[in-house]
Homo-oligomer: A and B are copies of this chain.
Amino acid sequence: MTRVGVVGATGYAGAELVRILSGHPDVELTILTSRQYAEVPFAKVYPSMAGVVDLACKAYSPDQVCDMTDIVFTALPHKVPMEIVPELVRRGKKVVDLSADFRFSDVSKYESFYQPHAAKDLNEKAVYGLCEVYFDQIKDAAVIGNPGCYPTSMLLPLIPLLKKGFLDTRTIIADSKSGVSGAGRSLSLTAHFCEVHESFKAYKVAEHRHSPEMEEVLSREAGTQVNITFVPHLVPMIRGMLTTTYASLARKASAEDIRNCLADFYSGRPFVRLCADNSVPDTLHVRGTNYCDIGFKVDERNNRVVLISAIDNLVKGAAGQAVQNMNIMLGLNETAGLTGVPFPI
């Protein structure tokens, strides 16, 4: 059975990896690392896991991780992965990295939004792990740059329409709304209960660094440079992300045209669900799941299309898609470990 480790297991994305991997039928979770909680039982950090996850967290040691795993998930702050992943790969491990470090084809973009890149060679071999779009490349990849939650929610509805030339690429606006878990487990006033429970606000208006990640992928798929306006907002709920994307139509298109385009592209893909006519995505419907629900509306009067997509930011937006990537890399059933029945509420 494939042995799996999670480096950075006690942040929210890491803990969600632990949840999914602990219930995965085809892999064995063998090691968890955490700087902050070294030598602490994982179930003490997350008591919901008592009796289910028996591992204690370890300080990170490359030797130990390499000895105990075949594939490694790195759920760490940006910059740390590019320093440790190269060694893991050199020693034959497959890696799914949840940071931004291996998401960019164009390293200069990464460097202008983050910092100098310390593993450019490896970055060239990394594959952007948007599973529904880059399935074939993922199969053979050694390193996956797992997409961010905002890009995932925004790219999935857009790419099929872009590829078919439906959209005026100069007009794309993405208005995203994220649950608070996206801010992570690190303490901050932004996630302090009393400051957020009856609050709704935007942040990093039109300057969020997820835009370049989105634009690189959109440009590649559109075959032309695509710039977007992207505004993220914070919703007083734990999990969930909804993105409302607006674009002018490049040519006449009916609701049926749009539906067919999306349905064709995602035909047979287990984790994308098209909403029925007259219904719209709701983060409640994807909570705890790896689904991306997509709905849309053609605004004929204004010759625009409105795309709406909902994901769980911690699952399809992070740990779930990471496991989906692992499944593809290992040749497992793509849905393995990701088939828990959704909660009704």
Contacts and interface: CB of A to CB of B under 8 A. Distances in A.
Interface of A: 12, 15-16, 18-20, 22-23, 44, 46-53, 170-171, 173, 175, 177, 179-181, 185, 187-189, 191-203, 205-207, 227-229, 231, 233, 235-240, 242, 244, 246, 270, 273, 275-276, 279-289, 291, 293, 295, 297, 299, 301-302, 304, 306, 308, 310, 339-345
Contacts of A279: 47
Nearest to A23: B341
28 contacts: A12-B344, A15-B344, A22-B341, A23-B339, A46-B344, A46-B345, A48-B286, A49-B342, A51-B273, A177-B200, A179-B198, A193-B238, A195-B284, A197-B197, A197-B237, A197-B238, A198-B240, A199-B237, A200-B237, A200-B242, A200-B282, A202-B281, A203-B280, A205-B306, A206-B306, A207-B297, A231-B306, A288-B343
B191 A341 contact: no
B273 A198 contact: no
Given A229-B302, A236-B193, A282 B180 contact: no
Contacts of A16: 343-344
B202 A229 contact: no
A283 B47 contact: no
Contacts of A343: 16, 19, 48, 288
Given A16-B344, A179-B198, A198-B237, 8 more contacts: A49-B342, A51-B291, A52-B342, A180-B194, A187-B187, A193-B197, A198-B239, A229-B246
B199 A283 contact: yes
B345 A244 contact: no
B173 A282 contact: no
A239 B227 CA distance: 35
B238 A194 contact: yes
A181 B345 contact: yes
A282 B189 CA distance: 14
A271 to B, nearest CB: 9
B189 A187 contact: yes
Contacts of A195: 284, 345
Given A12-B194, A237-B198, A279-B47, A229 B304 contact: yes
A244 B233 CA distance: 10
Contact of A297 (B206, B301, B342): B206
